[in-house]
Every structure is written in C-alpha cells, then in structure tokens.
Amino acid sequence: PGEQFVPDPSKKTLVILGTGWGSVALLKNLDTENYNVVVVSPRNYFLFTPLLPSCTTGLIEHRSIMEPVRAILRHKKGAANYYEAEATNVDTERKVITVVDNSEVRGATNTTEIPYDMLVVGVGAENATFGIPGVREHSCFLKEIGDAQRIRKKIMDCVETAALRGQSEEEMNRLMHMVVVGGGPTGVEFAGELQDFFEEDIKKLVPGISPRFKVTLIEALPNVLPSFSKQLIDYTENTLREEKIDIMTKTMVKNVTNNTVEAEISKPDGTKERVEIPYGLLVWATGNAVRPIVKDMMARIPAQKDSRRGLAVNEYLVVQGARDVWAIGDCAVAGYAPTAQVASQEGSFLARLFNNMAKTESLESRIHDLSSKMNLKAGNSADDAHEIELLEKQLRRIKDVKPFRYSHQGSLAYIGSEKAVADVSWWNGNLATGGSMTYLFWRSAYLSMCFSSRNRVLVILDWLKSKAFGRDISRE
Ligand code: FAD
Ligand code: NAD
C-alpha cells in the first residue's frame, strides 16, 4: 500500500547500492528498460570528488560538483526507482536487503526490506582512523560535501578567533596552525589548496595575524604521494616546501586531543622521538576503511574470510561466494587502487555485462519459441531453422564477454601555487610531468570529466569568480 513503484513481473529486479563513481557509471551506461532498476543510497546526488579539496576554501562552491541522482535517472529510457535510504543488511540467501531511512522529517527511523534478483554493491568506503584515539572526535575528514563545508567554516573560525585581541602568542599560533595528517593525494591536494587560500585571500584580508599562518603535512612513510614516481615525489616535496608548507615525513600520529596531535618521529639513527603539535584545524586524510555493511557481508560469506580490504570479486566483478551479487569501486577488492577511475570503469563494465545478459535472455527465449514451433511442425521450418542458426551465432558472440580489465589513464594531483603533477600514459610509454602547464592540463582534464555540462559551466564560473573577486570568506 502506498507504494509508487510496481515492478514488472516479466523483468528481473536489479538493486544498485550507492550513488558514487561506480554506481553512477553503471546507471549511465545501463539499458534500464531490461530490468526493474532500484537505486538505494543515503546521498541523493553524485559527487565529483576530484574537485572536493577546492570546496574547502570556497574556490569552488559545493553545489557546482554535485549532480542530483533524479536528474540522472530522468534521462534514462526505462524508468528507474530511487530510494533515499541506507542499506544496513544484505541477506544473500533470501535475496533481500534491509534499508533504513532516518530522515529528520519523519522523526523516527523507518526500516523496510527490498527483494532483489540481482544486486550491485557500490557503497564505497569510510575514513580510516586505525583506532587512533581522538581522531573521530576532534578532526575533520575530507570525503563528503559536509566535510568540505565544515573545514571551510573552521578555517575562518580559526582565523577570526586568532584575530581577537588579548590572547597569548601561543594561543594565536595554535589557532593559525593547520595540520593535515596523511600525505596521500587527498592530504597533498588539500594542503596545496589551503596554502593558496592563505596567499591569495587571507593574507590580504586579515594581514595582522598572517605571519602566524602555517600548514603542516604529516606523513608516516618516508615521502608523500607514495603512488607517484620518484621524480614527481621530489618535485612535489620541493614545491610544497617552496610554498612554505612544513612536511613531516616518517612521522606517525598516535593520539589526538582537542588541540594537540601527538606523533612519533622515526629518526635517521633508528631512535624515535615523541612530539606534541598544537593545532587550530586538523584534517585527517589517511585513506579508506571498510564500511560496516560490507564488513558484515564479508563475515557472513565463508568465501570472503581471507579478504581484508573489501568484498573479494572475480574477474567479472561477482562477489566470491555469493549468488547474483556484484561489487564495484572502493568496497570491492579486484586488485586495483581505490580510485574514481577504477570505480567508473568497473561500473561501465557491469552495464555492458547486464545489457548483454538481457540480450542473451531475449535471444534464448526467441530460439526456444522457434524450436517449439518447429517441433510442432507449424509454419515454415526451413525459415525457422535459418533464423535459429543466425540467432545462435549472435548469441555466441554476445555470450563471449571478456573479463574486466582496468585501463589506467594516469594519475593527476594538484599541489598548490597553480602547479600539478601528472603520471600519464603517452604514446605507449609513460610521461611524468609537473608544473604550470600540467596545472592547465589538470584543469582541462577535470573539467572534461565533470558529470554534466551544468557542472562544467558552474565550475568555470566559480574559477572566474574567485579569480576576479577572491574567495568568499564569510563564515555561515
Ligand atoms: P563513492 O564514490 O564513495 O560512493 C559511495 C556511495 O555509496 C555514496 O553515494 C554513498 O552515499 C553510498 N553509500 C554509503 N553507504 C551506503 C549504504 N549503506 N547503502 C547504500 N548506499 C551507501 N580518485 C581518482 O581517480 N581521481 C581523483 O582525482 C580523486 N580525487 C579524490 C579526492 C578526494 C577528496 C577523495 C575523498 C577521493 C578522491 N578520489 C579520486 C577517490 C574516489 O573518489 C573514490 O575512489 C571513488 O569515489 C570510489 O567510488 P565508489 O563508487 O566506490 O564510492
Ligand atoms: P591514501 O591511502 O592514498 O594515503 C593516506 C596516507 O596516510 C598514506 O600515505 C599513509 O602512510 C598515511 N598515514 C596513515 N596513517 C597515518 C598516521 N597515523 N600518521 C601519519 N600518516 C599516516 O589516502 P587518500 O589520499 O585519502 O586517497 C585515497 C584513495 O583515493 C587513493 O586510492 C587515492 O589514489 C585516491 N585519490 C586520488 C586523488 C587524485 O588522483 N588526485 C586524490 C585523492 C584521492
């Protein structure tokens, strides 16, 4: 009762979890007429994560990199249904998922079950904290729009609070100290954006306290951006130092309090030194951890018992040990890095696979009908035999789906002061480049990857607006 979506009983129900890079690439390329498509995600929009670090300083406004999932579904030929809810359980035996809607307007949580014939898990990952005390309570993550908004507010809160008269030097220095933990691409890009914000806007608008502004990037390994080539790592570290970003490598954060980070530095002589670093803003960017729903599935499927970082899948992205369940993106372990590039190629692969499966079924049923007709000796059996032959040929071609293979297009990262680094495939070889030209390449590459023309126009306008008038530093 009250249900708006009535599944067509002649079609299989395909449930897709998530509206991130993987699930949206699947939706974009899927022929939705073949299935009863149901999308479930607590986030009713797709988020273009590569430009999220730019939202933390207001260089780009957050809505410019969001695309409503309903706008995506509206353009599909076959109707697809969307539920704004979080999947909390997958019962692979009964083939049902449990979803929870905890919308504020309801005032109470609503739990319901959705049956599936086929399920795609594309729920991404959550932020890793490694159980380090104080991280969840005191730091900001950088994964969702809400995180970027929180950071944007907090930067200005630190600046305005530090500018208030009658405080100790120590307190002003603490407030103006922005600490970033994790020297992966997220941490490096954010540190670069933050330093730009300071150089281009804060310094001019709040000159009194500007000498105290400092960004520190803390990384446990011997260098930042470990997945890039040695040449680009050196270039990045030199550029960050030129920008006056303090890089602390071989430094492992062990504990976080409301205004200090406690870390252990590994010295060249093999000894360790414990340091206490006061901070005003702390951004935690130490990578991915498995979401509870995925952990739960891994614990319940015996074939997943050796998997640690997500759902182990085969070369067709089928979850090992589960029937009719596929996994894509950051929640799947297929042997690739957890990136948007991988997730979107996996989503597009599944769309091709599902489109083929639907075609196969329709061809098989046509062949079955023609064979029955021939057995009953009705109609022209020579024509039917010829058609069956053609259909079988077509079927063999369609059934021959090659396994998923990731094609790496290269890695790009913004490192501040209008410079970027790129490790890209170039004429069958590799090109490692950094600098201002790479920055223009970075901008045009990300612009072309934006989800829609609307996003593209909004991002360009934001860039122009910030260039002409500076970033908007009002704190709301
Ligand atoms: P996501 O995109 O994270 O989407 C997961 C979806 O699942 C979301 O819609 C979420 O709301 C939903 N969900 C969560 N829990 C549930 C649940 N229980 N039930 C239903 N739905 C659920 N990669 C690159 O290749 N290039 C880059 O430049 C780049 N830049 C990045 C910058 C930042 C700041 C960050 C954080 C990441 C960046 N990445 C980049 C990595 C990239 O964003 C991820 O690898 C990618 O988002 C993974 O896609 P996904 O579909 O697996 O998950
Ligand atoms: P990451 O896993 O790439 O890096 C996290 C870093 O944090 C690691 O270098 C790790 O050594 C460090 N770390 C962990 N614990 C620490 C501690 N206690 N103290 C100090 N350092 C610690 O994480 P990320 O940067 O968030 O990236 C996640 C994924 O998203 C990666 O696959 C990345 O390639 C992708 N991504 C790509 C881009 C891009 O291509 N421009 C941008 C952002 C993210």
- At 368-422, the pLDDT tens digits run 888 888 887 766 778 888 888 888 888 887 777 899 999 999 999 999 999 999 9
Ligand 2 atom closest to the Cα of residue 188 is 25
Position 107 confidence tier, pLDDT thresholds 50, 70, 90: confident
Pick from 430, 431, 412: which is nearest to 422 by CA?
412
C-alpha 437 – ligand 1 centre gap (Å): 28
- At 273-310, the pLDDT tens digits run 999 999 999 999 999 999 999 999 999 999 999 999 99
Ramachandran region, residue 352 (left: φ > 0; alpha: ψ -120 to 50; beta: rest): alpha
Ligand 1 atom closest to the Cα of residue 292 is 18
Residue 253 in contact with ligand 2 by CB distance below 6 A: yes
Q: Which ligand is nearest to the CA of 65?
A: 1
For a pLDDT cut of 90, what percent of the chain falls above it?
Answer: 83
Looking at residue 124, what is its pLDDT? 98
Position 61 confidence tier, pLDDT thresholds 50, 70, 90: very high
Maximum distance among all alpha carbons in the chain?
100
Ligand 2 atom closest to the Cα of residue 254 is 18
* Helix 381-399 with 340-375: angle, nearest 10 deg: 160
Ligand 1 atom closest to the Cα of residue 19 is 9
Q: What angle do CA 326, 332, 334 make, to 5 degrees?
A: 95
Q: Which ligand is nearest to the CA of 53?
A: 1
C-alpha 99 – ligand 1 centre gap (Å): 20
Work out the average pLDDT over 16-34: 97
Looking at residue 88, what is its pLDDT? 97
Looking at residue 312, what is its pLDDT? 98
Residue 338 in contact with ligand 2 by CB distance below 6 A: yes
Looking at residue 398, what is its pLDDT? 77
Tokens of 108: 């109470």
Residue 455 in contact with ligand 1 by CB distance below 6 A: no
Three state DSSP letters for the chain: CCCCCCCCCCCEEEEEECCCHHHHHHHHHCCHHHEEEEEEECCCEEECHHHHHHHCCCCCCHHHHEEEHHHHHHCCCCCEEEEECEEEEEECCCCEEEEEECCCCCCCCEEEEEECCEEEECCCCEECCCCCCCHHHHCECCCCHHHHHHHHHHHHHHHHHHCCCCCCHHHHHHHCEEEEECCCHHHHHHHHHHHHHHHHHHHHHCHHHHHHCEEEEECCCCCCCCCCCHHHHHHHHHHHHHCCCEEECCEEEEEECCCEEEEEEECCCCCEEEEEEECCEEEECCCEECCHHHHHHHHHCHHHCCCCCCEEECCCCEECCCCCEEECHHHEECCCCCCHHHHHHHHHHHHHHHHHHHHHHHHHHHHHHHHHHHHCCCCCHHHHHHHHHHHHHHHHHHHCCCCCCCCCCEEEEEEECCEEEEEEEECCEEEEEEEHHHHHHHHHHHHHHCCCHHHHHHHHHHHHHHHHHCCCCCCC
Question: Does the pLDDT at position 429 exceed 70?
Answer: no
Tokens of 23: 């699930």
* Chain mean pLDDT for the chain: 94
C-alpha 70 – ligand 2 centre gap (Å): 31
Q: Whose CA is nearest to atom 41 of ligand 2?
A: 413
C-alpha 17 – ligand 2 centre gap (Å): 24
Tokens of 234: 């050196």
Ligand 1 atom closest to the Cα of residue 342 is 25
Residue 218 in contact with ligand 2 by CB distance below 6 A: yes
Burial class of residue 141, CB neighbours in 10 A (0-12, 13-18, 19+)? buried
Question: Does the pLDDT at position 3 exceed 60?
Answer: no
C-alpha 21 – ligand 1 centre gap (Å): 6
Q: Whose CA is nearest to atom 15 of ligand 2?
A: 286
Residue 339 in contact with ligand 2 by CB distance below 6 A: yes
Residue 347 in contact with ligand 1 by CB distance below 6 A: no
- At 180-196, the pLDDT tens digits run 999 999 999 999 999 99
Pick from 142, 138, 139, 130: which is nearest to 55 by CA?
142
Residue 53 in contact with ligand 2 by CB distance below 6 A: no
Residue 32 in contact with ligand 1 by CB distance below 6 A: no
Distance CA 86, CA 111 (A): 10
Residue 287 in contact with ligand 2 by CB distance below 6 A: yes
Ligand 2 atom closest to the Cα of residue 413 is 41
Q: What is the ipTM of this complex?
A: 0.99
Work out the average pLDDT over 2-18: 87
Pocket test for ligand 2, best of 286, 344, 441 (most atoms within 8 A of CB): 286
In sign, the C-alpha dihedral spanning 339, 345, 349, 354 is positive
Looking at residue 1, what is its pLDDT? 45
- At 210-222, the pLDDT tens digits run 999 999 999 999 9
Pocket test for ligand 2, best of 52, 181, 186, 217 (most atoms within 8 A of CB): 186
| Global confidence as pTM | 0.95
For a pLDDT cut of 70, what percent of the chain falls above it?
Answer: 98
Distance CA 70, CA 87 (A): 19
- At 115-161, the pLDDT tens digits run 999 999 999 999 999 999 999 999 999 999 999 999 999 999 999 99
Q: What angle do CA 350, 351, 356 make, to 5 degrees?
A: 95
Looking at residue 382, what is its pLDDT? 81
- At 440-475, the pLDDT tens digits run 999 999 999 999 999 999 999 999 999 999 999 998
